[in-house]
Amino acid sequence: MKDFTYSYPVNVYFGTDAAKKAISQEIGKYGKNVMLAYGGGSVKKSGIYDAVVSMLKEAGKDVTDFPGIMPNPTYAKVQEGAALAKEKNVDFILAVGGGSVIDCCKIISAQAKTDKDIWEMEFTDHVFPTEFVPMGAVVTATGTGAEMNNGAVITHEEKKIKTGVFGAFANFAVLDYEYMKSLPAKQVISGAFDTLSHCMETYFGSPRTANISDEINEAVMRNVIRNLKIVSKNVFDEDARRELMWDSAMAENGILKLGKVTDFQAHMIEHQLGAYTDCNHGCGLAVIHPVLYRHIYKDAAERFAHFAETVWDISAEGKTADETALAGIQALADFIREIGLPINFKELGIQADDAMLRAVADSTNIMAGCCKKLNADEIFEILKECR
Ligand code: NZQ
Ligand code: ZN
């Protein structure tokens, strides 16, 4: 284990009536002006918007609406939200939505407290925000774990970069299955695959010798796989959905990352693909993972073989480490097919010509934390194989 300090700032309310409990217990600590941020309208159709507004009114709050946060939120939308928050002197931001809404609000929360441009601050000056408008997250689409961390994935359209920006932690998070019932099955599955991806990206980071973080991770991965198989047959299986909700949080609440270094390779590639195509995050990852792993497994064959044995129940008997590793990667690919996610860019529905893939490869920022430091040519080869 590497050295670490652990504490956690997010109060999580999980289960039935969680929004009511969270809002009644938490919101009184903050001022009167609440900005209610949401996406393209699913919260209005599902009735969640009306329910949350009446809880806020009951708590004596004035509500400013900030609608229209798109999937894969843009930096322009962050600026729009921050300007509104400043204009209305917002005391608290309540994000009601999936990863996109929550991420956008994390950066609005930081941008509303400074006149400096957050992007320039973080990427040019390497200074990270320390002051935030407090915020809460009512999760309506689980999988990203965005409610549990202070990283936000934002697309800067002019720069053609989709990447992690650091912002606020939610002061509280609400995870209630009732608020996710209306989520389309495809999004439930791609979101849960995103969770599995977060686990794998951490697991293949370093160190890769036996350690408690990875052993907990193996349990979470097995749990995601078991429950994903269940929801792919019956999306309304509440027990399985609730398990997946907590799996999602577990993958991003820091526990699995303690003592580990990882750079989320598949994510770095998928995020850049998102900058060029606006593809669904979990679906993009489903395409990339098996292809990426076939490229890198020889650099960490023992770890991939262990993954095959412990996560996919593959026997290593009579096999070399390479053979066991490859059998595990094949099991992952078969699983992706079984749960109905795309296995190539064609199925994902994106036009993947050489010029676009080259641009994605050249702009993907890979560090050294995950088995192998890939160069742009290798990423280009991986992307071409994804077609
Ligand atoms: O906009 P609305 O109308 O709400 O519709 C959304 C959206 O179209 C819909 N939806 C959400 N809740 C619903 C619902 N539809 C019906 N009923 C509900 N209850 O689902 C669609 C997708 O929503 P989105 O928030 O984009 O999905 P997700 O939660 O997968 O978030 C994806 C974003 O999170 C980033 C991704 O890159 C992507 O931008 N990530 C954030 C991470 C983080 N902060 O830690 C980690 C992840 O790796 C990921 O990169
Ligand atoms: Zn992800």
What contacts 177, CB < 8 A, 6 or more positions away? 15, 238, 241, 242, 245
Residue 367 in this model has a pLDDT that exceeds 80: no
- CB of 149 sitting under 6 A from ligand 1: yes
Determine the atom of ligand 1 nearest the C-alpha atom of 100: 25
| Mutate which of 49, 138, 139, 140 for ligand 1 pocket (most atoms within 8 A of beta carbon) | 140
CA 112 to ligand 1 centroid distance, Å: 23
CATH 3.40.190.10 describes domain 185-385: no
Question: Six-digit token pair at 175?
Answer: 């995870």
The phi, psi pair for 33, rounded to 5°, reads: -90, 110
Which of 116, 119, 162 minimizes the C-alpha distance to 274? 162
Ligand nearest to C-alpha 190: 1
280-328 pLDDT, tens digit per residue, is 999 999 999 999 999 999 999 999 999 999 999 999 999 999 999 999 9
H-only helix segments in the chain = 18-26, 42-46, 48-58, 75-87, 99-111, 118-123, 185-203, 212-233, 238-252, 265-277, 281-296, 301-312, 321-338, 345-348, 354-363, 376-385
The pLDDT confidence band at residue 5, using thresholds 50, 70 and 90, is confident
CA 144 to ligand 2 centroid distance, Å: 5
The pLDDT confidence band at residue 263, using thresholds 50, 70 and 90, is confident
pLDDT of residue 365: 85
The partner residues of 62 in beta bridges, in order of sequence, read 33
Q: What are the boundaries of each domain within the chain?
A: 4-179, 185-385
CA 270 to ligand 1 centroid distance, Å: 15
Determine the atom of ligand 1 nearest the C-alpha atom of 190: 30
Residue 4 in this model has a pLDDT that exceeds 80: no
- CB of 146 sitting under 6 A from ligand 1: yes
- How far, CA to CA in Å, does 248 sit from each of 163, 185, 226, 251? 20, 16, 14, 5
C-beta of residue 223 within 8 angstroms of C-beta of residue 243:
yes
The partner residues of 154 in beta bridges, in order of sequence, read 163
CA 282 to ligand 2 centroid distance, Å: 7
The pLDDT confidence band at residue 73, using thresholds 50, 70 and 90, is very high
- CB of 31 sitting under 6 A from ligand 1: no
Mean local confidence (pLDDT), 333-362: 97
- CB of 145 sitting under 6 A from ligand 1: yes
In angstroms, the CA 32 to CA 208 distance is 49
In angstroms, the CA 125 to CA 87 distance is 27
10-35 pLDDT, tens digit per residue, is 999 999 999 999 999 999 999 999 99
pLDDT of residue 1: 73
In angstroms, the CA 214 to CA 191 distance is 21
pLDDT of residue 119: 98
Mean local confidence (pLDDT), 73-91: 98
| Mutate which of 144, 166, 247, 265 for ligand 1 pocket (most atoms within 8 A of beta carbon) | 144
pLDDT of residue 369: 65
In angstroms, the CA 325 to CA 308 distance is 6
CA 174 to ligand 1 centroid distance, Å: 15
In angstroms, the CA 112 to CA 100 distance is 18
- How far, CA to CA in Å, does 379 sit from each of 63, 248, 281, 289, 296? 46, 27, 18, 12, 11
Mean local confidence (pLDDT), 130-156: 98
Instruction: Name the residue at shortest CA distance from atom 26 of ligand 1.
Output: 71
CA 142 to ligand 2 centroid distance, Å: 11
Residue 187 in this model has a pLDDT that exceeds 70: yes
H-only helix segments in 30-98 = 42-46, 48-58, 75-87
Pick the CATH number of 4-179 from 3.40.50.720, 3.40.190.10, 3.40.50.1970, 1.10.274.10: 3.40.50.1970
Instruction: Name the residue at shortest CA distance from atom 46 of ligand 1.
Output: 144
pLDDT of residue 2: 75
CA 295 to ligand 2 centroid distance, Å: 20
- CB of 141 sitting under 6 A from ligand 1: yes
CA 249 to ligand 2 centroid distance, Å: 12
- CB of 55 sitting under 6 A from ligand 1: no
- CB of 106 sitting under 6 A from ligand 1: no
Ligand nearest to C-alpha 100: 1
CB-based burial label for 359 (10 Å; 0-12, 13-18, 19+)? middle
In angstroms, the CA 38 to CA 104 distance is 10
